[in-house]
Amino acid sequence: MRWQDMRRSQNVEDRRGSSPARGGGFGGGMRMGLGGLVIALIASLLFGVNPLEMLTGGDPPPAPQQASPGYGPQVRPGTPAAPKQGDTAGAMMQAVLGNTEDVWLAVFEAQGWGKYPKPNLVLFDGRVASACGLASAAVGPFYCPSDRKVYLDTAFFDQLARRFGAPGDFAAAYVVAHEIGHHVQNALGIMQKLGPRPDNATQVRLELQADCFAGVWGFYAQKRNLLDPGDLEEGLRAAAAVGDDMIMKRTQGYVVPDAFTHGSAQQRQRWFRQGLATGDPQQCDTFAVNQP
């Protein structure tokens, strides 16, 4: 992927190396995407934790709708710290975020949806405080609808490559584009219609739509000659690696479709391909089909 040719966003907050302020627990409003599944599985392999319990078990406290003093970022409002010079991972995240901004600004205008509200991308390590609560890197990349920010520990990409056979810069970009897909859902009011705690079947459709929206971004990145040969295969390989069925097979040896929260490998690839093939977010209505 030719990320060096992409415009770099200024909406990146680098909180790596800082300690999060104390805040509430893992909020129910947090939307875990591709990363949440992968990191959950890694935790299960390393520490014997059941990833399905991490993702679906328990009854977490509701997420606050607005950030409160204890949840605030570790930088002054309006002056987020940007990645430092020589930080390749941070620079790539700036570039990918900048390109998603350019794509969705154009798509929103073409669709008559008004102006696209740019989200912030927060880079962290270890733990991070968001308006959805205090989270550790174990939850993986996630989007918090309450503060409209994507949270990402860049060490996740090493795990994605080494443990799951999904290396490459486009695989990493796909993860970011999926979380941005959740932001698009939030901006369009899709999340609000579903409520704070959708059931598993609805959650699957929400995640698959975010995969399709990631494909829409990939369509335009390809159209603008920003992709290299093999990039799309990297993204598809990453999507399949974190399908619910693949996670369950690795951790417990059998599949329970009723427990799916993100979709099967086949479903994730299908909807990512849908966005890649059409570049049309109107073709990403996973809620309008009988079987997503």
Concatenated DSSP letters of 146-196? TTTEEEE-TTHHHHHHHHHS--SHHHHHHHHHHHHHHHHHHHTTHHHHH-S
Please report where in the chains the tokens 């599949």 appear, as a residue: 255
Token output for 59: 């009854």
For residue 278, what are the contacts with CB-CB under 8 A and spacing of at least 6? 216, 219
Token output for 228: 């290299």
The predicted pLDDT at position 19 comes to 64
Please report where in the chains the tokens 């949270």 appear, as a residue: 151
The dihedral formed by the CA atoms of 68, 71, 76 and 77, expressed in degrees to the nearest 10: -50
| Residue 132 to residue 146: CA distance in whole angstroms | 6
What region does 270 belong to: left with phi over 0, alpha with psi -120 to 50, or beta?
alpha
| Residue 15 to residue 290: CA distance in whole angstroms | 42
Is residue 118 helix, strand or coil?
coil
Is residue 93 helix, strand or coil?
helix
The predicted pLDDT at position 80 comes to 52
The predicted pLDDT at position 158 comes to 81
Q: Which amino acid is at 111?
A: Q
The predicted pLDDT at position 28 comes to 43
Token output for 15: 């909180």
| Residue 250 to residue 71: CA distance in whole angstroms | 35
CA 73 to each of CA 34, 77, 138, 151, 244: distance values in angstroms, whole numbers, following the listed order: 24, 8, 19, 12, 32
Could you write out the DSSP letters of every residue in 195-264? -SS--HHHHHHHHHHHHHHHHHHHHHHHHTT---TTHHHHHHHHHHHT-HHHHHHHHHSS--GGG-SS--
Cβ atoms 188, 209 nearer than 8 A: no
Token output for 186: 């939030």
From first to last of its 292 residues, what are the pLDDT tens digits of the chain? 999 999 999 999 999 987 675 444 434 455 555 545 444 444 333 333 334 333 333 333 333 333 222 222 333 333 456 676 678 889 999 999 999 999 999 999 999 999 999 999 999 998 999 999 999 888 889 999 999 999 999 888 887 777 776 777 898 999 999 999 999 999 999 999 987 788 999 999 999 999 999 999 999 999 999 999 999 988 988 888 778 888 788 778 999 988 899 999 999 999 999 999 999 999 999 999 998 8
The predicted pLDDT at position 85 comes to 62
Torsion sign across C-alpha atoms 216, 93, 194, 112? negative
